[in-house]
C-alpha cells in the first residue's frame, strides 16, 4: 500500500524548491545543492566520527577479550559479560540526565564535552589491574556515551528536512560498521605488540584509541556549530533558507523551552513505545553480534589474530546494508518496509550460525549475514527524528529510544552463558527468535502512522495551499512549530 502522505510531501517539495516565499519582502537566491554540499562537508564527518568512536570504544572490550584481557586481569565466570552489562546499565540510567543537558545547553557543546570524557576513560582502561577497576571505568564510559544517539538525532534535525535527513542518519550510523572494520585492524596490529601483562597488546590498543577520542573531541568542540545561526561559514540568506525549509517541512526542533505537556505527551504516545519495543528487538541480536562476533569466530577454531581479521567483513556488510536502505528512503521506499526487508538476510544468517553443521565457511557466512540487522536501527532513529515535533518531546523521545538501546544491550550479553562456550546456543536461539518479532512490530507501526495520517492529510494539504498563495507567512508557521508537538499539530503528517 502506498504512503498516503506522499502527495503532501511532494507538495512540500514544490514549495521548498522556490527560491524564497514572496511575502518576506527581500529577494535572496540560495542554491540548495551548493548549500547542502557545504553543510554535509562540515557537519556529517564530525557526526560520523563521534558515532564511530562510541561504537569503537564500546567494542574494544570484544577485541581485548581475544587478546588476553581475561587472563591478564584474572576474570572468570560471567565477569566478562558483566562488563558489557554494567556499561549499558549506566548508559540507560544516564539517558534522562543527558537529555536534560541537551535541553539546557547547545547539543553540539554537550556532545563535544562528552567525547572528551570518553577519551579520558578509554585511555584510563589501559591502567586497570582487576575486575573492579575495569567495571568502574566501563560504567562511567556508559554514562557519558549515553549522549550519542539523542545528540546526533537532534543535531541532524537542526540542519535537514525530513526527506533529506534519513540518508544523513545512514551516513553517520555507518560509523558502527567502520568501528567493526577499524576495530579488527587495530586488534590485529596490537596483537603484534608487547606480550607482557603489564603493558600487553590490549593496553596499547586502549591508549591509541583513547588519544584519537581526544583529537575528535577537540575538533567537535571547535568546529561543530550549535545550530545554523552560529555557523560562521553560512551567509544570512543561507541561514534563513535553512529555517524556512525546516518550518515548511515540519522538521525543526522548535524553541528550546521546556514544556511539561510535551514531556507527558511523549510518555503516553503509543508510537513512542512502539519505537522503544522495535529498538529493543533490533538491538538484542545487533548488540550480541557486534560485541561478541570475534569471540564466536574464535570459537570456530581460529586463533585470535585470524578472528580479528575475519570480523572485518561484518563491518562491510553493515555499512552496505545501512547505506542501501537509507538511500532507498530518499527515492521513496517506505521506511517500515525497509526494516522488514532487512530482516530476511538476518533470518538466513541466524539460521546458518545457529543450526548449520557444515563447514566453518557456512557458519562465517551466517555471522556476516546477521549484520544486516544492524541497519534497521538507522531507520528507527530516522523515524524517531522525523516523526516528533517540538524540542522537549524530541529530546524525550530520543532518550526513550536510547534507553531501549541500553536495555537490549543489557539483555543480549546475558544470553552468552559461560558454561555453553564455545557454542553459546542460548545466544544463537535468542538472535533467531527476536527477528520475527521485529517484522510484526514494524507492521504495527506502519498501521498506526497510516491511521493517524488519514485524519491529517486534508489539514496539511490546506496548510500547503495557503502557503503557496501567500495566505500564511512562513515566519508565523515557524513560530507556531516551536509551540506545538506532532500530536497537537493536526496538520503534522507522519513519515513512514
Give the three-state DSSP class for 258: coil
What span, in angstroms and rounded, lies between the C-alpha atoms of 228 and 233? 9
What span, in angstroms and rounded, lies between the C-alpha atoms of 434 and 446? 19
Helices 376-386, 162-173: axis angle to 10 degrees equals 140
What span, in angstroms and rounded, lies between the C-alpha atoms of 314 and 370? 8
What span, in angstroms and rounded, lies between the C-alpha atoms of 134 and 57? 13
Q: Which residues contact 260 (CB under 8 A, 6 or more apart)?
A: none
H-run or E-run covering 267: helix 260-268
pLDDT at residue 421, as a whole number = 67
What span, in angstroms and rounded, lies between the C-alpha atoms of 416 and 420? 8
pLDDT at residue 271, as a whole number = 92
pLDDT at residue 462, as a whole number = 63
Q: Give the number of other Cβ atoms within 10 Å of residue 14's Cβ.
A: 11
Boundaries of every domain in the chain: 33-227+234-481
What span, in angstroms and rounded, lies between the C-alpha atoms of 113 and 107? 10
pLDDT at residue 25, as a whole number = 40
Q: Residue 472 has which C-alpha cell? A: 500564511
CATH of 33-227+234-481, picked from 3.40.30.10, 3.30.360.10, 2.40.30.10, 1.20.1250.20, is 1.20.1250.20
pLDDT at residue 2, as a whole number = 47
- Helices and strands, counts by H and E, the chain: 23, 0
pLDDT at residue 137, as a whole number = 95
Q: Residue 417 has which C-alpha cell? A: 552463558
What span, in angstroms and rounded, lies between the C-alpha atoms of 420 and 417? 5
> pLDDT below 70 — which residues of the chain?
1-28, 190-199, 250-256, 287-288, 290-292, 356-358, 413, 416-418, 421-424, 458-483
Chain segment 25-81, per-residue pLDDT in tens: 434 578 888 999 999 999 999 999 999 999 888 878 877 877 788 888 888 877 877
Helices 107-125, 95-104: axis angle to 10 degrees equals 140
Find, among 321, 436, 443, 414, the residue nearest to 374 by Cα.
Answer: 321
Place of cell 505527551: 265
Q: Which residues contact 454 (CB under 8 A, 6 or more apart)?
A: 4
Handedness of CA 393, 457, 160, 380 (dihedral sign): positive
pTM for this model (two decimals): 0.84
Find, among 204, 429, 421, the residue nearest to 298 by Cα.
Answer: 421
What size, in residues, is the chain?
A: 496
Amino acid at each position: 500500500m502506498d504512503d498516503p502522505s506522499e502527495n503532501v510531501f511532494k507538495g512540500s517539495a514544490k514549495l521548498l524548491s522556490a527560491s524564497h516565499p514572496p511575502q518576506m519582502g527581500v529577494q535572496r537566491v540560495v542554491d540548495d545543492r551548493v548549500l547542502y554540499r557545504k553543510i554535509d562537508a562540515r557537519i556529517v564527518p564530525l557526526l560520523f566520527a563521534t558515532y564511530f568512536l562510541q561504537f569503537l570504544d564500546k567494542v574494544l572490550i570484544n577485541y581485548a577479550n581475544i587478546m588476553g584481557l581475561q587472563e591478564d586481569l584474572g576474570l572468570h565466570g560471567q565477569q566478562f559479560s558483566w562488563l558489557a552489562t554494567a556499561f549499558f546499565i549506566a548508559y540507560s540510567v544516564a539517558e534522562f540526565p543527558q537529555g536534560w543537558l541537551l535541553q539546557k545547553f547547545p547539543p553540539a557543546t554537550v556532545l563535544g564535552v562528552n567525547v572528551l570524557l570518553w577519551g579520558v576513560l578509554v585511555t584510563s582502561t589501559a591502567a586497570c589491574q582487576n575486575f573492579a577497576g575495569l567495571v568502574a571505568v566501563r560504567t562511567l564510559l556508559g554514562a557519558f556515551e549515553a549522549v550519542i544517539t539523542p545528540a546526533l538525532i537532534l543535531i541532524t534535525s537542526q540542519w535537514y528536512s525530513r526527506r533529506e535527513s534519513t540518508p544523513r542518519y545512514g551516513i553517520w550510523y555507518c560509523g558502527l560498521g567502520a568501528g567493526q572494520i577499524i576495530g579488527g585492524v587495530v586488534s590485529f596490529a596490537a596483537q603484534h605488540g608487547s606480550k607482557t601483562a603489564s603493558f600487553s597488546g590490549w593496553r596499547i590498543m586502549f591508549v591509541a584509541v583513547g588519544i584519537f577520542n581526544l583529537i575528535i573531541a577537540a575538533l567537535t568542540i571547535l568546529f561543530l556549530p550549535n545550530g545554523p545561526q552560529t555557523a560562521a561559514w553560512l551567509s544570512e540568506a543561507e541561514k534563513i533558507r535553512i529555517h524556512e525549509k525546516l518550518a515548511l517541512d515540519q522538521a525543526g526542533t522548535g524553541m528550546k523551552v521546556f514544556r511539561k505537556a510535551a514531556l507527558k505527551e511523549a510518555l503516553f504516545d503509543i508510537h513512542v513505545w512502539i519505537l522503544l519495543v522495535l529498538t529493543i528487538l533490533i538491538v538484542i541480536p545487533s548488540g550480541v553480534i557486534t560485541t561478541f562476533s570475534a569471540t564466536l569466530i574464535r570459537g570456530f577454531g581460529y586463533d585470535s589474530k585470524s578472528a580479528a581479521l575475519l570480523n572485518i567483513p561484518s563491518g562491510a556488510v553493515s555499512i552496505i546494508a545501512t547505506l542501501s536502505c537509507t538511500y532507498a528512503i530518499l527515492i521513496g521506499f517506505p521506511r517500515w518496509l525497509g526494516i522488514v526487508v532487512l530482516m530476511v538476510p538476518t533470518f538466513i544468517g541466524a539460521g546458518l550460525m545457529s543450526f548449520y553443521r557444515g563447514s566453518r565457511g557456512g557458519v562465517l557466512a551466517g555471522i556476516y549475514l546477521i549484520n544486516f540487522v544492524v541497519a534497521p536501527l538507522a531507520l528507527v532513529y530516522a523515524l524517531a527524528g522525523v516523526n516528533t515535533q517540538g524540542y522537549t518531546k524530541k529530546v524525550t523521545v530520543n532518550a526513550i529510544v536510547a534507553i531501549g538501546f541500553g536495555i537490549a544491550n543489557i539483555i543480549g550479553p546475558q544470553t552468552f552463558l559461560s558454561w555453553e562456550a564455545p557454542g553459546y546456543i542460548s545466544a544463537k536461539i535468542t538472535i533467531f527468535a527476536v527477528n520475527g518479532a521485529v517484522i510484526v512490530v514494524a507492521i504495527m507501526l506502519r498501521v498506526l502512522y497510516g491511521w493517524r495520517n488519514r485524519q491529517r492529510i486534508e489539514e496539511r494539504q490546506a496548510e500547503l495551499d495557503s502557503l503557496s498563495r501567500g495566505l500564511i507567512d512562513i515566519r508565523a508557521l515557524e513560530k507556531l512549530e516551536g509551540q506545538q508537538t506532532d500530536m497537537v499539530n493536526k496538520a503534522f503528517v507522519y513519515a513512514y
